[in-house]
Amino acid sequence: MVAGRHMEALEETIAGRHDIHAVTVDVNDRNQIGAFTVRMIAKHPELNVLINDAGIMRREELTSKRDLDEAEQTIAINLLAPIRLTNELISHLISQPDATIVNVSSGLAFVPMSSTPTYNTTKAAIHSYTVSLREQLKGKVEVIELAPPAVQTEFIPGQSTREGYMPLGAFIDETMMLFLQQSTPREILVQRVCFLRWAERNGNFDKAVEMLGTH
C-alpha cells in the first residue's frame, strides 16, 4: 500500500507491480490521518510495516522578516505527520508479528544545508525521535532510520537531472541490499551519505557545512 496526495502520481508508482494498492491522504491534515489509519487497519488487519517518508523542502531566506507559512507546513508534513501516523498505528503494530517502522530522515539531519534551514531542522528532529522510539519499542517493534543523500528525483523541480546527485536506481539498489542484511541495520546509510552522517565524528563538520553552502 502506498499513500500520498495525488492519485495520478501514485498510479504511476504502482504501474506494472502486483499486489500494490494506492490510496490518497494528505498528511498535512491531522483529521485525515486519523480517518486514514482506521480505514487501513480495517481493510488490512495484517498491516505490520509503516514507512514514514512524506516530505517537502523549501529554500528560505533568514536575513529579513518573512511569511512563515511554508516553514510551518514543512514542520507539519516532515515532523508532525510521522509522529501522528506512528501514534495512530502504534497499538496495532505492537500487536503484529515482525512489526517495523521506517522513518526517512536525510543526510541533512547531520549536516545542515544553510539554504533549507527548516527542512534540516525537521530531519534532525526525526533522527532524534527515531532514537527515542527505538528505545521505547525495543523487543516490540523494529525501528529503522533511512537517511538518503541527495538523490536524482523530482523532490525539487530539476533535481532528477542534477549532476553530482546519486542516480535513483543506484540508490534503490544499494538501499535494498542494506535492508536485506541480517540483521537489518538500525540506520540505512548508502555510502554516498556517510560523509554527512559521520562528519562531526570525523572532524569534517565545518568543511561539510561549507560544501553544502555552495549548493
Of the residues 110, 119, 165, 171, which is catalytic? 119
- Three-state helix/strand/coil letters over the chain: CEEECCHHHHHHHHCCCCCCCEEECCCCCHHHHHHHHHHHHHHCCCCCEEEECCCCCCCCCCCCCCCCHHHHHHHHHHHHHHHHHHHHHHHHHHCCCCCEEEEECCHHHCCCCCCCHHHHHHHHHHHHHHHHHHHHCCCCCEEEEECCCCECCCCCCCHHHCCCCECHHHHHHHHHHHHCCCCCCCEECCHHHHHHHCCCCCCCHHHHHHHHCCC
Torsion of CA 7, 12, 18, 22, to 10 degrees: -10
- Would you call 165 a catalytic residue per the annotation? no
C-alpha cell at 65: 522578516
Q: Which residues contact 40 (CB under 8 A, 6 or more apart)?
A: 1, 23, 47
What residues are annotated to the active site? 119
